Amino acid sequence: MQIIDKVAWLHLHQGLVLSTRSRGKDRYYFPGGKREAGETDAQTLIREIREELTVTLTPESLRYLGTFEAQAHGHAEGVLVRMLCYAADYSGTLQPAAEIAELAWLTYQDRPRVSAVDQLIFDWLREQGQLAD
């Protein structure tokens, strides 16, 4: 079994959660990405969010929210993605960069438009009363 190790930023505002769609992709994903050799969760997340969304996460505000695991979208059966999720404050203006084609603020109704692991997170956020229907 193969596991893809990813770190994600869960950013909510008034019951909506920030999501991104990469160029050429048909699903939305939480912003973040894969760890580079030797990186901590915080280093990975800060680097990825700066690259993808042009904002700077505030390191001391990082809060671990949970780890979620599911079949990786677009990969062979048995390839899983393990997503370590964090909340954090940021500075700057959110805008798509690098491979990101679009930013979107999603509700629970958008659940079918996201990857399998993100669907688990959508369920969890709804159970926590943080994600609007």
Distance of CA 42 to the CA centre of its chain: 14
* Contact by Cβ (8 Å): 63, 86: yes
Q: Quickly list H helices, the chain.
A: 41-53, 116-127
- Second-level CATH architecture of 2-127: Alpha-Beta Complex (3.90)
Tens of pLDDT along 84-109? 999 999 999 999 999 999 999 999 99
pLDDT of residue 75: 86
pLDDT in tens, 29-73: 999 999 999 999 999 999 999 999 999 999 999 999 999 999 998
Closest of 52, 79, 80 to residue 67, by C-alpha: 80
How does DSSP classify residue 62? -
Going by C-beta distance under 8 Å and a sequence separation of 6 or more, which residues neighbour residue 1? 78, 79, 80
| CA 111 – CA 93 distance, rounded (Å) | 26
Statement: residue 1 has pLDDT above 90: no
pLDDT digits (tens, 9 = 90+) for 12-27: 999 999 999 999 988 9
Bridge partners, residue 34, by sequence: 6
